[in-house]
Every structure is written in structure tokens, then in C-alpha cells.
Amino acid sequence: MPQFNFRAKSIDGKETKGVRDAESEYQLARMLRQEGYVLVKADAEGASRKWRFSFSRRAGLKEKIFFCKNLQVMVSAGVSLPRAVGILADQSDNKSFSKILIQLKDDLIKGNSFSAALSGYPEVFSDFFCSMAKVGEETGTLANVLEICAQQMEKDYALKSKIKGAMVYPAVILTAMVGIGILMLATVVPQLAATFDDLKVQLPATTRFIIVMGKFAESYWWVIIIAAAALVGIFSRLLKTTGGKKAVDDASLKFPAIAPIVRNVNSAYTLRNLSALVGAGVSLPRALVITADTVSNGNYARALLAVEVRVKKGEKFSEAIKNFDNLYPPTMIQMIAVGEETGETSNILIKLAEFYENEVDEQTKNFAAVVEPLLMIIIGAAVGFFAVSMVQPMYSMMDAI
């Protein structure tokens, strides 16, 4: 049995390192999960695995959707897995992903099962995908499972695209406003300041403040650019830390314009992935752990892991998740209870997922209408402050004449 050097983190950010015996990285990840840890990195001793990860990060969701859909078609047509994966490696426009598929084909030829081969690339193929593939192998329904996975990825891609699209408008407006403001400070304000100096006009405090800012922008514009880049870099690093990620996750659930979208997106992820896993035959506790990896907000991940512990002890899913009604809507919890009573949990989950996905669609469409008045107030206040500060001395000059 191979040994793995691994690094893992608990849900509260505690890190652990060591060496473990495991048949595959998938089994290692499962063992660590039972202890409350999430596998971050694993390298097989005596095997050159590190170089795989150097390019696996560049495999995007689009490439994986293409792979899953086309693999499903070929498997349904009776094409062997190694041959199908090899064909898709040749067809892929992404050279990095093509290399991964070639390695995957080699693993299959060596006799590894499809799910075990996939688990060797955890940064490319998620735990969800590996678990679904394993179910497909065990039940002889790999083609159907691949179709479900492709649908899940498409829904995931659609949700992410809607969120990004909703954020583009305010991001463009704010960036343009800051850029124009800096440009005016560096070009217009110094000229007006020189005029005021020549006329010996008494300047109000706000005008003096803008003039100081303008002279600084004119002389040290490069400092502003470096400072802006440094702030972006610092913020990006903070987001990767446990504390920074938690702060952003908490804030996103409190900000009025964003909180409803965050709640519905994470509810949709939870419901759709649980439906697919439970419907495929994965046990509910295992499905909850896998789904915890798919949600975008850490509060939801922690909630699902806590629910998994309670379900393992024999508590009903609807009763366990009721403790997190601050995250999941009461209607959703009640419908899950109905599904448990009628034996239609999987169907109820998928219908609820579709409902919340439609809610996200509507909310993202209306997001610009909600944010636009706020942006107009911010822009109006900034322009008004600048105009009053620079025009007021001119009126003083006219009164003096």
C-alpha cells in the first residue's frame, strides 16, 4: 500500500501534516474527513506527483464540462474508457488539460478504476465527481452518472456566470469614478490652485484639502499606482487566509444587496448536489461531506459538516438542518421534512434546487437596479463635494470684485 505525505486543515483552520498509508488520495481524503480534516495536498512517496499539480490548476470548468459531456456520449456508444479519454485528450484545445487526460488514460490502461484514476488529480476533479464516478462503476450506470455530472457542472457554471455578470456593472462604474477622480486631481486641480495663488484668494478648508491631494497626485502619481496594486495584493492574500475568508463570508450574509443572492446560491448548490449524490446511491452523511466542498460560503460548509455529525448519530436530516435556519430558508427545511415522510427526498431536493436557481436568476437581473441608486448617490456626493470646493473660491473672487 503506498504512503502519502499529506497536509490537511480542519474546518476551524487548524493544520496537520504527516505520512499515511492509503490505497489512493481519494481514500486518504476520506480517512481525514472522518477525523474532521480536509485534504489540502498529498504526494505519494517515491512517485513524481508534484509536477502534476503545476499545470492542473489551469484546467477550467468549461474544459471539464466538455470532457464530461463527450465522455458520456462515447461511453454510451460502447467506446472503452481509455480510448474515449485518449480521444478527448487529442480534441482538447487546452494543452494543460490535454496532458492531464493523457496521464488519466495511462492510469486506466495500467488497470486503475476510473474513480481511482480521477482521484489522483484532486485539484482538477472534485470529490463530488470522483464519488459519482465510483457509484457509476459499482452500479454499471457510468453513462447516466456522467450525464448527471455534466448537468451539475453546467448549472454551476451558469450560477457563477450570473454572479460575475451582476458584479460587472458596479465594478466598472466605481473603477471609472476612481480613475476620473485621480485624473482630475493630477491635471485640473493644480492649474486651479495656481490661479488661486496668483489672486491671493482665501481658500476654505475643503478646497485646501483637494489642492493638497491634487499636488500629491501630480507629483507622486506613481505612489498611488503602487499603493493601489499593493492593496489589491494584500486583500487577495487576506482572502486566502482562514480569518480573511471567514470575515468576507460573514459580511456577505449581512450586506442587504448581496445577502439574498448568497443565501439562494448556497442553498441551490446544497440542494442540487445532495440530490445528485443521494439519487445516485451515496449515503447521506457522505453526501453532506462532499457537498460541503461545493458551497461557496464557509458558513454553509461548516453547517453541512455539523449536520453530517448529527445525521450519523441517527437524527433526521430535516431535524439536523433546522438548527441552521439562519442560513437555510424555513420553507426549504419544511419541504425536506415532507420528502423524508414520503420517501421522495431526492425529487424534492432537485425541485427546490431549481426554485432557488430561478430566484438567483431574478435577483441577479435586478441587482443593477438595486445598486444603481446607491452608485448615483456616491457619485453625486463625490462630484458635489469637488464642485462646491472648487467653485466656492471663484464666487468669493467675484464678490470681491
Say which amino acid occupies 166: A
Say what the pLDDT of residue 41 is.
67
CA atoms of 56 and 268, how far apart (whole Å): 27
225-279 per-position pLDDT tens digit: 898 889 888 888 887 777 788 888 888 888 877 888 889 888 988 888 888 888 8
Judge: domain 148-401, CATH 3.40.710.10: no
Say what the pLDDT of residue 367 is.
76
Interior angle at CA 27, CA 22 and CA 28, nearest 5:
65
Q: Can you tell me whether residue 254 is helix, strand or coil? A: coil
CA atoms of 366 and 370, how far apart (whole Å): 6
**Intervals of the chain under pLDDT 70:** 1-3, 9-14, 23-27, 30, 38-59, 396-401
CA atoms of 28 and 9, how far apart (whole Å): 13
Domain positions in the chain are 1-47, 52-125, 148-401
Is 132 within 8 Å of 145 (Cβ atoms)? yes
**Angle of helix 205-219 relative to helix 345-400, nearest 10 degrees?**
110
pTM: 0.67
